Amino acid sequence: MQTSFTLAQLADPHMTASEKILRACVHCGFCTATCPTYVLDGNELDSPRGRIYLIKDMLEADRPATAEVARHIDRCLSCLACMTTCPSGVHYMHLVDHARVRIEDTYRRPLTERLLRATLAKVMPYPRRFGLALIAALAAKPLAPLLAALGLKRLAAILHLTPRRLPHRPRAPQTFPAVGDRKGRVALLSGCVNDVLAPQINAAAIRVLTRHGIEVVLAEGAGCCGSLVHHLGREREALAQARANIDAWTATAGLDAILITASGCGTTVKDYGFMLRTDPAYAKRAARVASLAKDIAEYLAGLPLKPDQNAPGLAVAYHSACSLQHGQRVTRQPKELLARLGFVVKDVADGHLCCGSAGTYNILQPDIARRLRDRKVGTIERLRADVIAAGNIGCMTQIAAGTELPAVHTVELIDWATGGPCPPTLREYGAHAALRPHVAAG
Ligand code: SF4
Ligand code: SF4
């Protein structure tokens, strides 16, 4: 694509990066076929190519974002299916990230939207605040249908997504020693939402790792990866959260890897090198941290996992989170691990399409998110599997809100099959006939 940025504009490194991305696009439109928002409504402006044009126009003309640009970029899930499809290697992720910052800096949203976005940014990345908010949401959960009927769809979406259990306290920084000879040492990102909503995920990861000789460190000072605010265009906050993690992990000696159990976070941590490339104090360390970052399944695939004799052998509908398959290109490992441990892995049709979770998307764009979720749940339920597995808490929460089937993290099944306990979600679901004997045995 031809561009016409001035030299003055190109003095800005963000603009240079975006110009390079824009020039790589050849307008072929292949990406439209796999874009969930285009697939739903067929509007070119809600396709990757349409969004690329809108962004080009806004950046080239050096104009503030308009309501139209904000509307179509806000509808983008940042699922990155377009990046997997694009034959020209267009790095849409960096382009849309730049556009979101530009929108945040130059476009004044309606008051209610500003308040909601600010609340999400000031609550979700902080586990204690998020825990308190969850308690309030749990108490108000019965009001969800009323709020929806009153047209307060975003509030209704928050309540609908709130799980029916009390939040947990985040784990304190600590080290979990390896069982037997130490074969490795890794940091594990506790994250923000993950440990409050579903502490069993990191607990399972810690058990599998330590059982196989890997010491696990929850580093002092590490917290939210920054992706929640990053996707809201709040760059300053996102970079501050990234820097805090980089400080925490680079102060931890002898790490072989930095492991992440929420793939949405993993995609962002792997991008720290790019996000902080212009910060002389952090660029090098950010690149090092990014190179050490691995999804938990990616790391476990390199370990000689020992299956337990009582591997449960359930049929698993594996939902490939967008951030894992498109953002990190980790596709084989989770399925191969599950199959190797005795599960029957079933691929979900149209698996490249997002479930509608996408960070805070299911709160900010509840209608599109619900349509995508219903579509995803339909394809999953047709598989008649015993359990749904995913590598991202956002997808698990989103999908679980639309089905009776239990949704667990892949690492919970891996833990169970290598000698750990039955995942609590499966235990609660144990009344299901197909699961009863396995759960009882687990
Ligand atoms: S597939 Fe790639 S090159 Fe083609 S229109 Fe989409 S982003 Fe541009
Ligand atoms: S990131 Fe996803 S929703 Fe956004 S343009 Fe690409 S395919 Fe479409």
Residues 224-277 pLDDT 10s: 999 999 999 999 999 999 999 999 999 999 999 999 999 999 999 999 999 999
| pLDDT, tens digit (0-9, with 9 covering 90-100), for 315-339 | 999 999 999 999 999 999 999 999 9
Q: Which residue CA neighbors atom 4 of ligand 1 most closely? A: 28
List pLDDT tens digits, range 383-422.
999 999 999 999 999 999 999 999 999 999 999 999 999 9
pLDDT tops 80 at residue 143: yes
- Cα dihedral value 166, 234, 232, 325, nearest 10: -90
395 alpha carbon to ligand 2 midpoint, in Å?
16
Least confident of 82-96, 136-150, 395-409: 136-150
**Average of pLDDT values for 11-32?**
96
Could you tell me what percent of the chain has a pLDDT over 90?
84
Report CA torsion sign: 293, 267, 54, 235: negative
For residues 359-363, average pLDDT: 93
> Which pLDDT score is estimated for 312?
79
Cα–Cα distance for residue pair 113/106, rounded to 1 Å: 15
Asked if the domains 7-106 and 315-441 are classified in one and the same CATH topology, the answer is: no
**Closest by Cα among 296, 299, 343 to 318:** 343
Percent of residues, the chain, with pLDDT higher than 70: 97
Taking residues 57-85, report their average pLDDT. Answer: 97
432 pLDDT above the threshold of 80: no
Query: 389 near 318, Cβ under 8 Å?
Result: yes
- The minimum-distance atom of ligand 1 relative to the CA of 49 is 5
Closest residue (by CA) to atom 4 of ligand 2? 76
Q: How far apart are CA 193 and CA 359, in angstroms?
A: 10
Q: 61 C-alpha to center of ligand 1: Å?
A: 22
* Top-confidence residue, 167 or 10: 10
Predicted confidence at residue 206, as pLDDT, reads: 98
pLDDT above 90: residue 356 = yes
Which pLDDT belongs to residue 436?
46
Q: Chain-wide mean pLDDT for the chain?
A: 94
Q: How far is ligand 2, taken at its centre, from the CA of residue 77, in Å?
A: 6
For position 365, what pLDDT does the model report?
96
Q: How far is CA 359 from the centre of its chain?
A: 6
Q: Both tokens of residue 164?
A: 């029916």
Which ligand sits nearest to residue 323's alpha carbon? Answer: 2
Res 431: pLDDT? 47
pTM to 2 decimal places: 0.93
| 7-106 to CATH, choices 1.10.1060.10, 3.30.420.40, 1.10.510.10, 3.40.50.970 | 1.10.1060.10
Using an 8 Å Cβ cutoff, are 372 and 353 in contact? yes
pLDDT tier at 166 (50, 70, 90 boundaries)? confident
Tell me the average pLDDT across 45-52. 98
Q: Which of 44, 77, 90 to mutate to test the pocket of ligand 2 (most atoms within 8 A of CB)?
A: 77
Per-residue pLDDT for 43 more than 80? yes
Domain residue ranges in the chain: 7-106, 112-161, 174-300, 315-441
The CATH number that domain 315-441 falls under is 3.40.50
What does the H/E/C string look like for 43-87?
CHHHCHHHHHHHHHHHHHCCCCCCHHHHHHHHCCCCCCHHHHHCC
Phi-psi region of 332 (alpha: psi -120 to 50; beta: other; left: phi over 0): alpha
Ligand 1 within 6 A of 55 CB? no
